[in-house]
Structure 1
Amino acid sequence: MDNMQQQFIEAGTLMLTGMVFVFAFLGVLIVFINTVLAKLAVKFPDAIAVPSSRPNKKSKSKSTANGDISPAVVAAISGAVKRYRTQHGHDK
């Protein structure tokens, strides 16, 4: 029984030691990456513009107030589909 307790204590100590080393390594890695990024930010000060995924509120919408597509857009799409089908032999 004493041998089993000793093994559990050794296993717990080994586990905690490993966890501390992993935590320390990750902390050093984060500090290193932030240092490198800070040095690169000085060399390249201009940020790259990333387009927003949100639609622009100022742009005109092609839909009506209730969310339906306007009749002009439906007519344009219908005409384009009809023309495509006629030109490519899909006309019924």
Structure 2
Amino acid sequence: MSKATYPLKLPTSLKKEAARLAKQDGVSLNQWIATAVAQKIGVVETTAEFLKRRAGNASGSGLSEILRQAPDRAPDPGDELPPDWVSS
């Protein structure tokens, strides 16, 4: 496996916590950070794939028709638009 270096600058508090967790796991800080990055990549890629599969062949073309069928009523309490909201 080829490796590349990257000068990572972390806030002191994050580095301290990461070092603590790495020690708790019995691995180096470098290995712990590399594993954390790999896990994050896996989550992001898995989520993107899941959403693509979930969407299937769907498109936004029928969305307007679906929205036209929605009842015209006031939003539930807490679902109102902010008073300064402007339609674009």
TM-score range, shorter chain: 0.3 to 0.5
**Higher helix fraction (1 or 2):** 1
Greater relative contact order, per chain length (Cα 8 Å cut-off, separation 6+): 2
Give me the TM-score of the superposition, normalised by structure 1.
Answer: 0.39
Give me the TM-score of the superposition, normalised by structure 2.
Answer: 0.41
